[in-house]
Amino acid sequence: MQVKTVPTRPIEGQLPGTSGLRKKVTVFQQPGYLENFVQSLFDVLPGLAGNTLVLGGDGRYFNDRAIQVILRMAAANGVGCVLVGRDGILSTPGLSDLVRQRHAFGGIVLSASHNPGGPDGDFGIKYNIGNGGPAPEKVTEAIHQRTLTIDRWLTLDSADIDLGRLGETALGAMRIEVVDPVASYARLMQQLFDFERLRALLARPGFRICFDAMHAVTGPYAQAILEGQLGAPAGSVINGVPLPDFGGGHPDPNPTYADELVARMCAADAPDFGAASDGDGDRNMIVGRRFIVTPSDSLAVLAANATLVPGYAAGLKGVARSMPTSGAVDRVAQALDIPCYETPTGWKFFGNLLDAGLCTLCGEESAGTGSDHVREKDGLWAVLFWLNILAVRGGSVESIVREHWQRFGRNVYSRHDYEGVDAAVARQIVADLRTALPTLAGRTAAGLKVLRADDFAYTDPVDGSVSRGQGLCVFFDEGSRLVLRASGTGTEGATLRLYLERFEPDTARQAVETQAALQPLIDAAEALTGLRARSGRQRPTVIT
Ligand code: G16
């Protein structure tokens, strides 16, 4: 089969964000858009020829087309072998696991994660390196630079490959192996968690769980593991069939978008344990009866209870959290006398820490928790971790969190998202606060005294690389903090995120309603940024 060289020109807007290149499907459907990006990726990966790549996505609209394009281009670029999930399906943690298990050169994830799908929805592409994790900034920057000068892409003239059947096939000189997306991942989960105990928990009379796969990629994984291997009754997994448009839903596991799960967990006959995952299976939400666990608290609870779980029985080397994530896990690290690292937003920053053995667990306030078992956050893993803790400790989700607060204090926490803000207005709001930062210390905003303010910068302790401008932080008296940053994953206008945190050591006051407890900070944020007034919004689009 002959390699075809197709002339092309750079196309604007191919700058990968927090988590790869995310755009509207219609943008990806422009002639040459996907091809330019994929060829730029192949052009900046020395040593790829003859090696193995893993390829798969969350099944969203355009997944099937993009996979065929990428397979032809991979073959034309001399890739030795591509492992593809059956029907083109792989969850993000599932792909990370396969890259590691099969010692692949890297992997390509097709997903826009928690963003909506369908012809008018979003699509995305992300490159993962040989450790199974998202490519670091120096690689994504090289890809972007290449998109600015690209002048040709390579492909083969060939029919589509049948990805519905497991087994091997060939495309030109390249081998293609269609693999079961769940098998390897399920084996890894069996190594980490006490499946016997989990089976016993799920068999307890009256104990019920509800896992909402949100019509996204975790459906088949959760059905195979929770219902198939652990014996949860059929129907414990809801919305388990992946659909190209996620059934019209927004596959983001938060109280706003996972409203079906929240309603079930608030009903009189609510199950004991509820959880949801997102489009590509890397995020998680944990819910008890009428009780939603914040992701920051969830990370802290997992860290505090890790030794109850076989895979972590030897203890944690350290923990890491993204800067806007609450300091709840810091308090656990202090009690355990292990290091706690604070990184910029985005999972790629955990990779070096995990590879160097500096930390075992990591997490982000955006519903991402994970460990050194893969190099991505992992939704179903977090669910199994919680179930394992419940199986050993007994009690309820709520009692475990409340006991945690009693022991460590409560970091009352919330994130307010303002989506679809006019991009110029958003830029100005951030720029003005950045300019004001050096003048804030000692000032009072809505009755709160500013102690200090900074623009978060991070020096990677492993490779010394420096990332600046990662979020504007204002610290107040009594352990309160607000952070303002612009999202790097939105596809419409700009999304501004306001992160609010207040420490409450007094057990008598820990039951307070979150938004009420944070009202002084919400007022201070408005006084300092004018965010609501300037964006013309009365309230945030999403509160988590
Ligand atoms: C958001 C979250 C980040 C997360 C990123 C990618 O980024 O705030 O914490 O790392 O999404 O997550 P996923 O891979 O699940 O899409 P941003 O820049 O929009 O705030």
Mean confidence (pLDDT) of the chain: 95
How much of the chain exceeds pLDDT 90, in percent?
93
Is pLDDT above 80 for 198? yes
Nearest Cα residue to atom 15 of ligand 1: 113
**Which pLDDT score, from 0 to 100, does residue 240 have?**
95
Rounded to an integer, what distance in angstroms lies between the CA atom of residue 337 and that of residue 331? 10
**Which pLDDT score, from 0 to 100, does residue 19 have?**
78
Is pLDDT above 90 for 477? no
What the chain holds in terms of domains, given with CATH numbers, is 3-181 (3.40.120.10), 185-399 (3.40.120.10), 410-543 (3.30.310.50)
List, in sequence order, the alpha helices (H) in 102-227. 137-147, 183-192, 195-203, 218-222
Is pLDDT above 80 for 257? yes
Is pLDDT above 90 for 492? no
The HSE-up count of residue 85 (CA atoms within 13 Å, CB side) is 31
Distance 401 CA to ligand 1 centre (A): 25
The pTM for the full model equals 0.95
Is pLDDT above 80 for 18? no
Distance 353 CA to ligand 1 centre (A): 19
Rounded to an integer, what distance in angstroms lies between the CA atom of residue 39 and that of residue 6? 11
Band (23; pLDDT cuts 50, 70, 90)? very high
Tokens in use for 114? 């928690």
**Which pLDDT score, from 0 to 100, does residue 11 have?**
94
Tokens in use for 356? 């160097």
Distance 113 CA to ligand 1 centre (A): 9
**Which pLDDT score, from 0 to 100, does residue 437 have?**
96
Burial class (CB in 10 A: 0-12, 13-18, 19+), 159: exposed
In one-letter notation, the amino acid at residue 18 is T
Ligand 1 neighbourhood includes 22 CB (under 6 angstroms): no
CA-346 nearest atom, ligand 1: 10
Strand 410-421 versus strand 368-371 pairing type: unpaired
Which helix (H) or strand (E) segment holds residue 178: the answer is strand 174-179
Tokens in use for 144? 């972007």
Is pLDDT above 90 for 176? yes
Nearest to 495 by CA among 415, 383, 434, 385: 415
CA-19 nearest atom, ligand 1: 6
**Which pLDDT score, from 0 to 100, does residue 316 have?**
98
- The DSSP call for residue 95 is H
Rounded to an integer, what distance in angstroms lies between the CA atom of residue 417 and that of residue 541? 6
Can you count the helices (H) and strands (E) in the chain? 17, 27
Query: Which of 111, 113, 467, 535 is labelled catalytic?
Result: 113
Distance 277 CA to ligand 1 centre (A): 14
Measured in Å, how far apart are the chain's first and last C-alpha atoms? 52
Strand 340-343 versus strand 319-322 pairing type: parallel
Rounded to an integer, what distance in angstroms lies between the CA atom of residue 25 and that of residue 436? 38
Is pLDDT above 80 for 523? yes
**Which pLDDT score, from 0 to 100, does residue 478 have?**
79
Is pLDDT above 90 for 79? yes
Band (407; pLDDT cuts 50, 70, 90)? very high
Ligand 1 neighbourhood includes 497 CB (under 6 angstroms): yes
Is pLDDT above 80 for 490? no
Nearest Cα residue to atom 1 of ligand 1: 489
> Which residue carries 């803000």 as its tokens?
421
Band (276; pLDDT cuts 50, 70, 90)? very high
Rounded to an integer, what distance in angstroms lies between the CA atom of residue 232 and that of residue 313? 25
Q: Which residues contact 109 (CB under 8 A, 6 or more apart)?
A: 20, 56, 57, 90, 92, 95, 124, 125, 126, 127, 128, 280
Nearest Cα residue to atom 5 of ligand 1: 346
**Which pLDDT score, from 0 to 100, does residue 1 have?**
80
Distance 346 CA to ligand 1 centre (A): 6
**Which pLDDT score, from 0 to 100, does residue 462 have?**
95
Q: Which of 18, 137, 498 to mutate to test the pocket of ligand 1 (most atoms within 8 A of CB)?
A: 18
Is pLDDT above 90 for 401? yes
Nearest Cα residue to atom 4 of ligand 1: 346
Band (449; pLDDT cuts 50, 70, 90)? very high
Ligand 1 neighbourhood includes 364 CB (under 6 angstroms): yes
Strand 480-486 versus strand 494-504 pairing type: antiparallel
Distance 283 CA to ligand 1 centre (A): 10
Is pLDDT above 80 for 239? yes
Q: By three-state DSSP, how is residue 467 classified?
A: strand
The 3-state DSSP composition of the chain as helix, strand, coil percent (nearest 5) reads: 35, 25, 35
**Which pLDDT score, from 0 to 100, does residue 167 have?**
97
pLDDT digits (tens, 9 = 90+) for 279-312: 999 999 999 999 999 999 999 999 999 999 999 9
Q: Please confirm, yes or no, whether 184 is among the known catalytic residues.
A: no
